[in-house]
Amino acid sequence: MSTTPHLDKPLFSAEEIRTRVHVLADAIARDYGADEILAVSILKGSFVFTADLIRALAAHQVHPLVDFMTLSSYGSSSMSSGKVLLHQELSLPVKGHRVLLIDDILDTGLTLQTACQLLIQKGAREVRTCVLLDKPSRRVVPITADYTGFQVENVFVVGYGLDYNNRYRHLPGLATLKFEVAPGAT
């Protein structure tokens, strides 16, 4: 059956996100104190969130090392494949570091779980997790984030780095996407 996605409703505005990101940065700064953080951002979805979070942390005199790893589970579909693929490795050493793992959304939990396991295997001293969005109703593995921006219902969310088919990542706020059956589709 053919479906056409289109933007549905605004979920969180750029201003609401900015306020929440600063609350998260405040909590992280208090928890880590003077300890060095290795921030690991899971690409591609978390690039916007990470950019804002590290600058919010800087406002609290926290200046993490930053690295990236590219993982994907969705491919070009709106359904998780259930398999997490590593497309690009970290470039910095992890051994002995306190890692703050950053992702845009915690859905089934498979991506965050896989990333945590990889970081522990590489010798991270500690791995804490920070996600902008959490969809607890979708979880298939028992994982909760240490820092969460917003909890959301089981709706498809785009914007602020989140995509559908690599589109909509540029939107400054978060919105829901609606899938409608195209006229004439069977």
Task: Note the residues at the interface with ligand PRP (CB under 6 A).
Answer: 42, 44-45, 72-74, 80, 103-112, 163
What one-character-per-residue DSSP string does 113-180 give? HHHHHHHHHTT-SEEEEEEEEE-GGG-SS----SEEEEE--S--EEBTTB-BTTBSTT-SSEEEEEEE
d(CA 121, CA 4): 42
Residue 88 has which token pair?
Answer: 């690009």
Are the C-beta atoms of residues 104 and 160 closer than 8 Å to each other? yes
10 Å CB burial of residue 47 (0-12, 13-18, 19+) is: middle
**Phi–psi pair at 110, nearest 5 degrees:** -65, -40
Max CA-CA distance within the chain? 61
